[in-house]
Amino acid sequence: MQIVRISEPMFAYFERVVMPGQILYFKATEDSMLEVYEANMASSAHVDTFPCKQLRSVGVNNNLLKKETPARLQSLTRAA
């Protein structure tokens, strides 16, 4: 299990638990940073940090990004 955090200095803070096999889509400004933490029952440890301007999705199914699409909820909650 990992925890991802996105900090946008001027706007917001985003944090989600990501299970193995789970897909997580997000939008962020170019100056945001994606922080990845390994989590266990007792604590979490910082693993890596990525500039969001270096990240992009490849082969995205745009239907998954629409709020009213049930497939989006499945992709965000499904653990493989």
Block mean pLDDT (10 aa), the chain, length 80: 84 84 84 89 87 77 54 43
What confidence score (pLDDT) does residue 8 get? 78
What confidence score (pLDDT) does residue 79 get? 41
Is 0.85 surpassed by the pTM of this model?
A: no
| DSSP one-letter string for 39-58 | E-SS-EEEEEEEEGGG---S
What confidence score (pLDDT) does residue 59 get? 64
Three-class SS state of 35 = strand
Q: Where are the domains of the chain?
A: 2-77
What confidence score (pLDDT) does residue 13 get? 78
